[in-house]
Copies of this chain bind each other. A is one copy, B any other.
């Protein structure tokens, strides 16, 4: 029974906890055993908070027994990407620079999760300072994909992805600047939701590039992502980009009804150069959603070809600005991060501002496109998880392009626009690696994105498959 609890989504656990049919202590105990067994193999966690998590589980059990049930996250174990500040617990950012740093406060989202009764079980592996999509980390070793430990889990929230996929956490927090929630979500076969820019506070989340950074949930199901978002969303004065606007109940948005919703298929760019198995799985998903009553039309996301250069100018500049105090310690960074910071130092103010102005045009194009459709449906990534030994700094994949550009090519456009974007598993390669379907929407229309993803999961079972670990 206890190990079974590890495989359950939060929504199911919540029912068992609320009705005292199961206890958070049993779950956390079993999960810590799984972590002890699997983490040496997967390297999903940089820090496991075993004692604190067990104490919190006992407290949750006691509170629930006393009738003080806090809601669906009460007693649910959460893995935090190791760039969420945790009061009294080291927060490395996957770096050597911050290897011994212990913050004195929690990120706003961490406070919110704790207030909702969630249990922080550990700090998850990440690409150094979130500056890459592979989680091959020079300081902490690579994290591994639970579906095939010789492959990357994707990044930069790869530890979070691996932990949820391998049932070493029920839910997790990731962050997404160019795809860092959705890439590991897709490669690990779980749900990952990048909320609309401004919906979830980034206060206390180490920045990569603040105008592109998003904080969000990584979960076994879309329903769990909605439950997480209910706890996470809302205005925070401490995040300058936080939106001061009403927040809906995201669980209520999962009506199961998608009939009449209009989906756009941006064939150009988003369907170019796909691995054939990815293409086939996404085609099947589109057919299934059509069967549920959604209409599909081909659309063109104009100027999407400028996204890569735009995001790089912005993120290199902003990252280098953030890292200015450490730039005399360049040798303490891994080679890929170091080279980005060195590039960032060469950017001029006009380079940066030109990129932000191009970005504005891209946002206008996107807003105009989304007047005609409710969501876009695309693959999340063109390829399944690459092997760790293929992910050197610059590696020819799919015609010589850098693997990191390939991994983020379809996710980055929604960082530039700040639009909500969700990945859900939609199939597997013959080699047993997950394939992700991306659903993107209008700004602050996270509800419809989650509704489509949930309807898809209600009609399919891909998200129920467990990795062979």
Contact = CB atoms under 8 A, between A and B. Distances in A.
A20 interface: no
A357 to B, nearest CB: 7
A360 interface: yes
Closest 8 CB pairs of A and B: A317-B349, A321-B353, A347-B349, A349-B352, A321-B350, A320-B350, A349-B349, A348-B348
Contacts of A321: 349-350, 353-354, 357
Contacts of A252: none
Given A240-B360, A360-B240, A349 B320 contact: yes
A284 interface: no
A324 interface: yes
Given A317-B353, A347-B350, A349-B351, 12 more contacts: A317-B349, A317-B350, A317-B352, A318-B353, A320-B349, A321-B349, A321-B357, A344-B349, A347-B349, A348-B349, A349-B352, A352-B352
A210 to B, nearest CB: 9
Interface of A: 240, 313, 316-318, 320-321, 324, 344-345, 347-354, 357, 360
A324 to B, nearest CB: 6
The majority secondary structure among interface residues of chain A is helix
Contacts of A360: 240
Nearest to A245: B244
Nearest to A360: B240
Contacts of A324: 350, 354
A217 B352 CA distance: 32
Nearest to A346: B348
A313 to B, nearest CB: 8
A205 to B, nearest CB: 16
Nearest to A314: B349
A463 to B, nearest CB: 37
A2 to B, nearest CB: 48
B344 A350 contact: yes
A353 B321 CA distance: 6
A218 B357 CA distance: 30
A352 B345 CA distance: 12
Contacts of A344: 349-350
Contacts of A318: 353
A181 to B, nearest CB: 24
A353 B350 CA distance: 12
Nearest to A363: B240
A359 to B, nearest CB: 10
A284 to B, nearest CB: 39
Contacts of A316: 349
Contacts of A240: 360
A313 B348 CA distance: 12
Contacts of A350: 317, 320-321, 324, 344-345, 347
A87 B398 CA distance: 51
22 contacts: A240-B360, A316-B349, A317-B352, A317-B353, A318-B353, A320-B349, A320-B350, A321-B350, A321-B354, A321-B357, A324-B350, A344-B349, A345-B350, A347-B348, A347-B349, A347-B350, A348-B348, A348-B349, A349-B349, A349-B351, A352-B352, A352-B353
Most buried by B among A316, A320, A348, A350: A350
A351 to B, nearest CB: 6
Contacts of A347: 348-350
Most buried by B among A345, A349, A352, A353: A349
A317 B321 CA distance: 15
A106 B429 CA distance: 56
A328 to B, nearest CB: 14
A4 to B, nearest CB: 48
A271 to B, nearest CB: 30
A28 to B, nearest CB: 39
A99 B322 CA distance: 42
A152 to B, nearest CB: 30
A316 B350 CA distance: 10
A238 to B, nearest CB: 10
